[in-house]
Structure 1
Amino acid sequence: MADELAVVMSHGPTDERASVGFTIVNGGLTAGMSASVFLTTDAVDIARRGAVDLVHAHPMDPLKDLVADFLSRGGTLWACPPCVKARGYGEGDLIEGAEIVGASALHARIQAGAATLCF
């Protein structure tokens, strides 16, 4: 049984799948799993400062709260380097706790046996 969850997100903050993904990954943390989220394409906007502040897909918690909860409980948040660069962002544009990291970090988690989900 996997004790780690690796989630790949490609939908931006205003797509309800972003909130669903963070709700599920936070559930993994609650279940005692360690968790990583790899943001790609439009999802890198989730890590941009201020981008999730007003997003709320009812009946879930506001996305800002879901992301903050994930990070405060030790979740790892990665943003795809080419996707970040394509949008003109740098480390200073991202929320505290988000890192610009290539897919090799995600691959290492998968090779170690992490369960995977995509949103």
Structure 2
Amino acid sequence: MKTKKLVVVISRGMDDERSSVAWSIANGGINNGLDVSIFLVSSAVDWVRKGAAEYARPNPEDPTMKDMIQNVINAGCTISVCPPCTKVRGYTQDDLIEGVQIKGSVVIHEPIKEGAAVLTF
């Protein structure tokens, strides 16, 4: 049986609880056997800057952001960030946590063409 795919596009940063919901849903997808891809745009790219998610917990009912992000990486899922969104913040690849790549939206097009469900936050 072919693994079903889920693409989660996150545009919310540390000031919005919906970002926590997005990471929580992505982790739920992983726990349910989905092949998850994350694409971060706008202020969401701040989540993967080294040290940024260490103590953040927008929703106290969810695990820490650091744990949710690390779980996605540990599961071998793709986390990509928008190149212009990183550039405008002055971030380079060296500023991001290991396992995150700066790549354009083309990285989510293939899973979408293969029928991935897409959620945006």
- Structure 2 counterpart of 1:97: 99
Q: Residue 76 of structure 1 corresponds to which residue in structure 2? A: 78
Q: Which residue of 1 aligns with 2:90?
A: 88
Equivalents in 2 of 1:117, 1:96: separation in Å? 24
Provide TM-score, normalisation by structure 2.
0.93
The list of structure 1 runs, each at least 4 consecutive aligned residues, that deviate by more than 6 angstroms after superposition, is none
C-alpha separation between the residues in 1 aligned to 2:51 and 2:118?
A: 28
Q: Residues 27-81 of structure 1: CA distance to partner in whole angstroms, max 9, x if unpaired?
A: 1111111000000000000110011111112111111111011111112100000
Amino acid at match of 1:70: V
Preserved CA contact (<8 Å) 1:2 1:115: no
Gapped runs of 5+ residues in structure 1? none
Structure 2 runs not aligned, ≥5 long: none
Output the amino acid matched with 2:82: C
| Equivalent pair of 2:5/2:35 in contact (CA under 8 Å) | yes
TM-score by length of 1: 0.95
CA positional deviation for 1:2? 7.3
CA contact (8 A) 1:3 1:34 kept: yes
Q: How many residues align?
A: 119
Matched residues in 2 for 1:2 and 1:104: separation? 20
The one-letter code sitting in structure 1 at the alignment partner of 2:86 is V
Whichever residue aligns with residue 9 of structure 1, its letter is: I
Mapped contact 2:45–2:85 kept (Cα < 8 A): yes
Distance 1:2 1:113, change over 3 A: farther
